[in-house]
Amino acid sequence: MSTKKSLLLAGIASLGLAVVVGSFATAELASGADALTQPEMTLPPGWTAEDMQSCMMAATPGKPHAELAKDAGEWHGKTTMWMTPNTDPIESEGVMTVSPILDGRFMKIEMIGEMPGMGPYHGSGLCGFDNVTGKYVATWIDNWSTGIMIGKGEKSSDGKKMSWTYTASCPVAGKEITVRQVETITGPDSKTLEMFAPDPKTGEEFQTMKIEFTRK
């Protein structure tokens, strides 16, 4: 499918969803004689009521979103970072704030800290659950890069571990690389985040970071 056709279909779907949401909102507000004057919703050509229902289901937060919302709050983080394999780690501390946005559909993450010898760090990200693909989704940006990390995640059957795969730009390798991130719940108000990436010189994966979080 061409890019133009994909964009056209996405635009139609968005328009259809907007029509549905607007119609439901109008119907909910209207009453009595006013309700009789409201025009009936017209489906786009070729669409069925099931298509519209699928759009509504895709936009409705569910259990995965409620699970993500449990991370809301302010967390203290102790960071250990390795620039290259077999080198002494760099240690620092920071604060992560997690808050729900868009009626719980996504979680906004803000990370502020400072890395010795490298200056202040400020990162920002979004994470959520895509009802259509059945995957957790995330983005990340920070003041140490001009690229956007884009990731997809899966939760373990016991719900205690989240495994992410990100696409990121590596300035040393000069190309996009795949970065793994593993979040492990260690208690009601504690968890660890570990990150792994390929060595730009050898291509072999090594651990680049570990953050131990405690909720305040």
Tens digits of residue pLDDT in 64-94: 999 999 999 999 999 999 999 989 999 999 9
Strands 205-215 and 73-81: antiparallel
CA distance 75 to 163: 20
179 pLDDT higher than 70: yes
Phi and psi for 154 in degrees, rounded to 5? -135, 140
64-215, CATH topology level: Lipocalin (2.40.128)
What pLDDT shows up at residue 16? 44
| Predicted structure pTM score | 0.78
**Cβ 61 vs Cβ 68: under 8 Å:** no
Contact partners, residue 20, CB within 8 Å, separation at least 6: 41, 52, 55, 56
Pick the range with the lowest mean pLDDT from 39-53, 91-105, 119-133.
39-53
Q: Which residue has the higher pLDDT, 88 or 34?
A: 88
What pLDDT shows up at residue 86? 87
